[in-house]
Amino acid sequence: MPKKFIVVTGGVLSGIGKGIVAASISRLLIDCGIDVNVLKIDPYLNMDAGTMNPNQHGEVFVTDDGYEADLDLGHYERFTGKNMSRKNNLTAGQVYYSVITKERKGEYLGSTVQVVPHVTEEIKERIRSMEGELLVIEIGGTVGDIEGEVFLEAVRELSLELGQSNFLFIHTTFVPYLRTTNEFKTKPTQQSVQLLRRIGIHPNMIVVRTESPIDPASLDKLSLFAGVPRNMVINLYDTNNVYEIPEVLKEYDVHQKIARFLNMELSGKLNWSYPKVFKPIKIALVGKYLGTDDAYKSIIESIFLCGAEKPRVIDSELLEESSDPEEFLRGFDGIIIPGGFGKRGIEGKIKAITYAREKNIPILGICLGMQLMVIEYFRNVVGFEKANSTEFDPDTPYPVIDIMEEQKKVLNLGGTMRLGSQDMRILPNTKLWNMYGEISEEKERHRHRYEVNYDDFKDYFFLPSVNSENPESKLIVSAMSDFVEAIELKNHPFFVGVQFHPEYKSKVGRPHPVFTALVKAIEEKLK
Ligand code: GLN
């Protein structure tokens, strides 16, 4: 059981970067020698994020152990450099499921099962079972949300049980700036602190998010009204680069302030390097979730961590309708086709692939993107016009992508895909082999139901072995497990498709080699 706890709550608005604050604090403390673990609490009733629409909730992040998590776990992995697992995320769905299962088994025999104490005890037990010396708990949503209250109550109770001096509550809020009157408005933050106090939690630190630097008088005011010492009120204003945040927090001495409060010894210092200048290359990410970049978060961050400008999301449905893909893709130096599900926008993505293949534009296809590269190749190079995935056309005469055998029996949609990390063989004399530094085995993370139908179409693929020359015209299989993991073309600057998700493994300072290679191929082409 952890000895010390930092609880990060959010106020006023969602989406103000609470996850980044929690991840940055975790990294700062890890580098100061503390054994930090994290727990993201999501108050929704889903068991995990696997069935949620990325437009509403951002991407689904997949951990090594095959858990479909909230995108915040991605921030945690990238910032802390540590791999997360299903233990690092707790949803209300999991909590209630467990309580109800226990009730049916008779574990509460005789009692009326209630939110307090049974549900709160379930939450506390999960928190107690975490490893690490210090646990950073981020509570999703905004204080005042009905769903979040039981979690706040549970951490409040736990802080009484384990000693309040072992708990540091950080409230992250947003202070808007009113242009008309030329002032920052602290009232929403004051009120959100009041909401927190009403539940019995008194914040020990306030992280004040603003769009531009706030005036000291507003911070004085917040300190007074919130009852938080002035040195524990910290202003984090917008930066173009979120990877600056650990450094900013360090400049504010946040690690020292935390250590003093929690009575911990620090050793070592922030060892953090991230790209600060960006190669001006333009990458189009042809996708269908357009509301927010969060839907493709890990891909976008992976490119950014390679020191290149973030990709721009292009609407695959508009591309599908257009007779001239060039209209959308002109001016881009590279293309990424991300993962996805369902038929919408598929033909637009295929058009982008044809364009990239014919015009020698570097292109990376991930999961669905790779499957579409295979389909495009069979349609336009092999000449099977109706080639498709059975996901989109169950009756296609050329099912080059087909549902996995074991998936045919699956009835439930939640948590039943091929998920998580598994070994693959990287085949020699391929571009992929070079990208990975000529190693022949690596674990990668997966999330799919369909795969290349290699058995029925093997004549059209080329499986390299150590001494053979790659044929010019075949689709080269560059990695295999019990299915095709990656494909590429020889006579193209970069035509690479991967069934796995490299984006989930990028860390700050260590972007996944597939992205580094894409950026390099683009740069070389531009020379
Ligand atoms: N829909 C495809 C499948 O299930 C691709 C999934 C994905 O891109 N993550 O195989």
In a shared domain, residues 114 and 198:
yes
What tens digit of pLDDT does each residue of 382-426 get? 999 999 999 999 999 999 999 998 888 877 788 788 899 999 999
In a shared domain, residues 232 and 356:
no
Question: Residue 468 has what pLDDT?
Answer: 65
Q: What percent of the chain has pLDDT over 70?
A: 99
What tens digit of pLDDT does each residue of 212-249 get? 999 999 999 999 999 999 999 999 999 989 999 999 99
From 448, 451, 503, give the residue whose CB has the most ligand 1 atoms within 8 Å, as the site to mutate. 448
- Could you say which of 233, 262, 291 is where a domain stops? 262
Question: Residue 405 has what pLDDT?
Answer: 86
Residue 57 scores a pLDDT above 90: no
Q: Where are the alpha helices (DSSP H) in 384-474?
A: 431-435, 454-457
Whether 490 is covered by a domain: the verdict is: yes
Q: Check the CA dihedral 141-145-151-154 and report its sign.
A: positive
Residue minimizing CA distance to atom 6 of ligand 1: 448
| DSSP conformation class of 504 | G
167 C-beta closer than 6 A to ligand 1:
no
In a shared domain, residues 235 and 377:
no
Whether 270 is covered by a domain: the verdict is: no
In a shared domain, residues 341 and 197:
no
Give dist(CA 238, CA 490) in Å, integer.
Answer: 44
Whether 363 is covered by a domain: the verdict is: yes
How many structural domains are present in the chain? 2
Choosing from 446, 448, 501, 512, the catalytic residue is: 501
Q: What percent of the chain has pLDDT over 90?
A: 86
367 C-beta closer than 6 A to ligand 1:
yes
For residue 367, give the ligand 1 atom closest to its CA.
8
Residue 99 scores a pLDDT above 60: yes
Residue 470 scores a pLDDT above 70: no
In a shared domain, residues 221 and 369:
no
Question: Residue 181 has what pLDDT?
Answer: 92
Whether 76 is covered by a domain: the verdict is: yes
Q: Known catalytic residue: 503?
A: yes
Q: Specify the CATH number for the domain of residue 380.
A: 3.40.50.880
Question: Residue 56 has what pLDDT?
Answer: 82
445 C-beta closer than 6 A to ligand 1:
no
Tokens of 491: 């006579």
Q: Specify the CATH number for the domain of residue 222.
A: 3.40.50.300
Question: Residue 340 has what pLDDT?
Answer: 93
Half-sphere exposure of 457 (CA within 13 A, CB side): 28
368 C-beta closer than 6 A to ligand 1:
yes
Q: Are 525 and 332 in contact (CB under 8 A)?
A: no
Q: Known catalytic residue: 446?
A: no
In a shared domain, residues 199 and 100:
yes
Question: Residue 414 has what pLDDT?
Answer: 80
In a shared domain, residues 499 and 426:
yes
What tens digit of pLDDT does each residue of 334-372 get? 999 999 999 999 999 999 999 999 999 999 999 999 999
The boundaries of the domain holding residue 414 are 283-526
Whether 346 is covered by a domain: the verdict is: yes
In a shared domain, residues 477 and 411:
yes
In a shared domain, residues 303 and 179:
no
Looking at the DSSP bridge assignments, the partners of residue 91 are 42
For residue 339, give the ligand 1 atom closest to its CA.
8
Ligand 1 center–CA 365 separation, angstroms: 12
Question: Residue 436 has what pLDDT?
Answer: 96
Q: Are 236 and 208 in contact (CB under 8 A)?
A: yes
**Beta pairing class for 441-448 and 363-366:** unpaired
- Could you say which of 262, 294, 314 is where a domain stops? 262
pLDDT bucket at 464, cuts 50 / 70 / 90: confident
**What are the DSSP calls for 272-335, one per residue?**
-----S-B---EEEEES--S-GGGGHHHHHHHHHTTBPPPEEEEHHHHHH-S-THHHHTT-SEE
Question: Residue 31 has what pLDDT?
Answer: 96
Question: Residue 364 has what pLDDT?
Answer: 98
Ligand 1 center–CA 228 separation, angstroms: 48
Question: Residue 417 has what pLDDT?
Answer: 87
Ligand 1 center–CA 213 separation, angstroms: 43
Choosing from 68, 153, 367, 488, the catalytic residue is: 367
Tokens of 99: 């309580």
| DSSP conformation class of 116 | I
Q: Look up residue 130 and give its amino acid.
A: M
296 C-beta closer than 6 A to ligand 1:
no
Residue 466 scores a pLDDT above 60: no
Looking at the DSSP bridge assignments, the partners of residue 45 are none
- Could you say which of 227, 262, 297 is where a domain stops? 262
For residue 401, give the ligand 1 atom closest to its CA.
10
Residue minimizing CA distance to atom 5 of ligand 1: 368
How many other CB atoms sit within 10 Å of the CB of residue 291? 12
Ligand 1 center–CA 423 separation, angstroms: 18
Residue minimizing CA distance to atom 8 of ligand 1: 339
Q: State the pTM of this model.
A: 0.94
In a shared domain, residues 247 and 307:
no
Question: Residue 502 has what pLDDT?
Answer: 98
379 C-beta closer than 6 A to ligand 1:
no
Ligand 1 center–CA 337 separation, angstroms: 12
Whether 269 is covered by a domain: the verdict is: no
Question: Residue 166 has what pLDDT?
Answer: 97
450 C-beta closer than 6 A to ligand 1:
yes
In a shared domain, residues 249 and 307:
no
Q: Known catalytic residue: 501?
A: yes
Give dist(CA 353, CA 339) in Å, integer.
Answer: 14
Residue minimizing CA distance to atom 1 of ligand 1: 341
Choosing from 32, 171, 503, 512, the catalytic residue is: 503
Q: Which has the minimum average pLDDT: 12-26, 224-238, 467-481, 493-507?
A: 467-481
Tokens of 45: 């009733």
Whether 338 is covered by a domain: the verdict is: yes
In a shared domain, residues 143 and 199:
yes
449 C-beta closer than 6 A to ligand 1:
yes
474 C-beta closer than 6 A to ligand 1:
no
What tens digit of pLDDT does each residue of 291-306 get? 778 999 999 999 999 9
Average pLDDT over all residues of the chain: 94
Whether 293 is covered by a domain: the verdict is: yes
What tens digit of pLDDT does each residue of 425-457 get? 999 989 999 999 988 999 999 999 999 999 999
349 C-beta closer than 6 A to ligand 1:
no
Please give the average per-residue pLDDT across 172-180, as a whole number. 96
Give dist(CA 295, CA 290) in Å, integer.
Answer: 8
